[in-house]
Amino acid sequence: MKIYILGASGAGTTTLGKALSFRLRIPHFDADSYFWLPTDPPFTTKRERKERLRLLREDTARSNAWILSGSICGWGDEFVDEFSLAVYLWVPSNIRMIRLYLREADRHGYEAILPGGSRHERYREFMRRAALYDDGAVKEPNKDMYLRSKVIHESWLKNVNCPVKRIEGDYPVEYCINRIIHWLPTPKGTSLQYNLAH
């Protein structure tokens, strides 16, 4: 059982991945932990692609069941054939942006993200990119690459060889967990039932 959860920034992929991991008692890995080097402040320096893959491969190889959340489109494609289930989360943009504002303020402090603050420019650029998710495949200014977008995710999911399920809307984490558990394949030759209780 290997579950992949993806969606836009602020859709709740990491939160859901952690909660589902606790419920199913299997490891959870988040793509950002491999994509970015550990820096202070975080999310400023990318890892080399080969190193991301090596670290993620090492961690996932330790278990026959795991959950991966976040975006691996374009750099983690070699994992596509391993998924048992892919879950796409979509949340309306206005709700996502509020979530991201609150998350960034909690992470860095309100003063840091306000005009004149130490994180304001990075915050403003991050929010600009996040707001474009539903607008199609948008190319990065002055770069030969595209921003994470719904179009790119939908296209990428066409190459996934496992069932793809969608949760579209602003739903409680518990609801999403129960939907995913309902979708999980039952191993052949067993009568396994996943626990829907808290």
pTM of the model: 0.87
Contact of 49 with 75, CB cutoff 8 Å: yes
- Distance, in Å, from the CA atom of 198 to the CA atom of 178, rounded to the nearest integer, reads 10
| Residues whose CB falls within 8 Å of the CB of residue 36, separated by 6 or more in sequence, listed in order | 42, 43, 44, 45, 46, 47
Chain segment 23-64, per-residue pLDDT in tens: 999 999 999 999 999 988 788 899 999 999 999 999 999 999
Domains by residue range for the chain, with CATH = 2-92+150-183 (3.40.50.300)
Structure confidence at residue 138 (pLDDT): 54
Chain segment 176-186, per-residue pLDDT in tens: 999 999 999 77
Chain segment 104-121, per-residue pLDDT in tens: 999 888 898 899 998 999
